[in-house]
Amino acid sequence: MSDVLWTALALVLVFEGLMPAINPGGWRRMFEQLMRFDDEQIRRFGLGSMVVGLLLLWLIQALS
């Protein structure tokens, strides 16, 4: 279980680093737009991301 957790964390870091590495200007503009969101919008985005992630995990488990 521990290996899976570390692998997942490593993949998150890889995906998080793709956008600033490939398109730093676009990443900066996106980040500036995100800074304009209020707390409720950020919270909804975070919760939506978690739901999508959980659904993907469920789907992967169901198909394997």
Within 13 Å and on the Cβ side, how many CA atoms surround 4?
2
Within 13 Å and on the Cβ side, how many CA atoms surround 45?
8
* CA gap 56, 51 in Å, rounded: 9
Q: Please identify every stretch of the chain with a pLDDT value under 50, giving residue numbers as ranges.
A: none
- What confidence score (pLDDT) does residue 1 get? 65
Burial status of residue 54 (CB atoms within 10 A of its CB: 0-12, 13-18, 19 or more): exposed
Residue ranges making up the domain that contains 30? 2-63
DSSP code for 52? H
Structural domain tally of the chain? Answer: 1
- What confidence score (pLDDT) does residue 4 get? 85
> Is this model's pTM higher than 0.95 or not?
no
